[in-house]
Structure 1
Amino acid sequence: MTRRHVLPIIVLGGSVLAAAGCGETGVRPTGTMQAADTADQVLYGVSHYITGDGIRRSLVKADTAYFYDATQTAELINITVTFYDDNGKETSTLTAREGTYRWQTGSMEARGNVVVVSPDGERLETSVLRYDEPTHSITTDQRFTYRTPDEYLEGNGFRSDPDFLNVVTDQPRGGERGVIDLPGQAEP
């Protein structure tokens, strides 16, 4: 063997030994996982009517909507929801930075600068507002303010029907509208 052939054989042999010495001693993964936040669909400039029994109930608009089939939810960014009564008349409009819509139950949560206004001047402001379709209730456990042309109320949370006829407020402050039920208060 000539000197010319010895050098490549030594280099090749050294490479094989080095590769063999770099064996893994740790546990090998058995599978890969995908990112949990990967949406099944992404829509931009969304506008969608929600109906019930053939009656238009609301119009949902969002800059962006991320749909997740596994959880049957949609994450909405920069949302506006207009609500209607049984006659198709607008009852209120909600705006928020983001929200979650659960299409199986029809429930929704709005988050970030949540504002609800009605055509007659009522205004509700909070950081989180939830609508639970099965119980037909609107709730928040965050500070809120409620204003009308004649009234003002604030508190640390509330539960109400969608028409705000029966409102239970946690730690209310400000004026009152009708009777306010306080938690733990016995009825006369």
Structure 2
Amino acid sequence: MIYTTTHIQRLKQLLLLTMAVILVSMGWYIYQYQQDGAGAKGTRPAPQPIQNDSDVFVANVSLTEMSNDRILWTLEAKEARIYAQRKETILSGVTVDFYDQDGQKSTHLISDQGVKDDSTGNIIARGNVEATSFKEGVVLRTEELMYDAAKNMIVSTTHVEIEQGGLITSGDGLESDLSLSHAKILKNVKTSFKTE
């Protein structure tokens, strides 16, 4: 009988000790949360719990690529999943602005998804891709478009449609400078006029 009573008292003590540790841990977590400003409203991207097999998941991403104090492009995305081993970042809800030699925005691009190769700087835009040239007044539509960082140009192997004024040119494959002023459709080129 004495053994059972002693055993129950020890269990009660361990249970109370465990509850005290949990309460202290929760208090410390809440204090740190408030100190870090995570509860405050702001636009700072917040790391989210890792989803799928990505190393890092971040919401509301903003990236800028520069060379010799000149902005090459800026990118915003609703989500980014970073895969460190593959050296790749998967983006969703993508908006990219490319800049010319004078630092002016030359092309605005939107797409459903993007893949950034972190080792080369290449970006592949996929799904409802639309690129608009500010200088040339050209709108390019396709399902996949790649920014080749080494060549500083955009290319596609899929069907593309280029609209300028009332003229629509379509075909398969594309090579172009970033401003779309020297866009070249590679195969099956067709031209038509836009009807209102």
TM-score by length of 1: 0.69
Flag structure 2 segments of 5+ consecutive residues without an equivalent.
Answer: 1-51
Matches within 5 A, 1:58-137: 58-120=73-135, 121-137=137-153
Q: Which has the higher helix share?
A: 2
Task: Give the number of equivalent residue pairs.
Answer: 140
Q: Deviations over 1:20-59 (max 9, x none)?
A: xxxxxxxxxxxxxxxxx51111110011111112211111
Deviation at 1:90, TM superposition (A): 0.7
Percent identity among equivalent residues? Answer: 24
Asked if 2 retains the 8 angstrom alpha-carbon contact of 1:76 and 1:98, the reply is: yes
- Structure 2 CA distance, aligned partners of 1:89 and 1:168? 26
- Which digits, 9 at most, give the CA deviation of each residue in 1:69-118, with x for residues without a partner? 11111000000001111221110110000010012111010000000012
Larger Rg: 1
1:160 aligns with 2:141: no
Partners of 1:81 and 1:93 in 2: CA distance: 6
Shift of 1:162: 2.9
CA contact (8 A) 1:161 1:167 kept: no
AA at the equivalent of 1:167 = K
Does residue 141 (structure 1) correspond to residue 157 (structure 2)? The answer is yes
Q: Which residue of 2 aligns with 1:47?
A: 62
Q: Given residue 98 of structure 1, which amino acid in structure 2 is its aligned partner?
A: Q
Q: Which amino acid in 1 is paired with 2:104?
A: K
Q: Is the 8 A contact 1:47 1:59 kept in 2?
A: yes
Decide whether the 8 Å contact of 1:58 with 1:84 is kept in 2.
Answer: yes
Amino acid at match of 2:102: N
Shift of 1:139: 1.6
Cα separation, 2, equivalents of 1:131 and 1:84 = 13
1:171 is displaced (CA, Å) by: 0.9
Structure 1's unaligned 5+ residue stretches are: 1-36, 176-188
Measure the CA separation in 1 of the matches of 2:132 and 2:178: 13
- Deviation for aligned residue 1:166: 5.6
More displaced 10-residue stretch of structure 1: 37-46 or 152-161: 152-161
Cα RMSD (Å): 1.9
